[in-house]
Amino acid sequence: MNPIPVAAEPAPFPLVAGKTALIVIDMQRDFLLPGGFGESLGNDVERLRTVVPPLSALLGAARAAGITVIHTREGHRPDLSDCPPAKLQRGAPSKRIGDPGTYGRILIRGEYGHDIIDELAPLEGEVVIDKPGKGAFYGTDLSDVLTGAGITQLLITGVTTEVCVHTTTREANDRGYECLVVSDCVGSYFPEFHRVGLQMVTAQGGIFGWVADSAAVIPALHQLTTTAA
Ligand code: TIU
Residue nearest to atom 8 of ligand 1 (CA): 164
Q: What is the mean pLDDT of residues 5-30?
A: 97
pTM of this structure: 0.97
Is it true that domain 4-228 has CATH number 3.30.420.40? no
Active site residue 179: no
Please tell me the total number of residues recorded for the chain in this structure.
Answer: 229
Tell me how far apart the alpha carbons of residues 155 and 168 are, in angstroms, rounded to a whole number. 11
Confidence of residue 225 (pLDDT cuts 50, 70, 90): confident
Q: Indicate if the pLDDT at residue 4 is higher than 70.
A: yes
Active site residue 95: no
Task: Report CA 96 to chain centroid distance, whole Å.
Answer: 22
Confidence of residue 224 (pLDDT cuts 50, 70, 90): confident
Distance 163 CA to ligand 1 centre (A): 5
Q: Indicate if the pLDDT at residue 229 is higher than 60.
A: no
**Is residue 164 in contact with ligand 1, taking CB distance under 6 Å?**
yes
Q: Indicate if the pLDDT at residue 201 is higher than 90.
A: yes
What's residue 37's pLDDT? 85
Tell me how far apart the alpha carbons of residues 24 and 156 are, in angstroms, rounded to a whole number. 6
**Is residue 15 in contact with ligand 1, taking CB distance under 6 Å?**
no
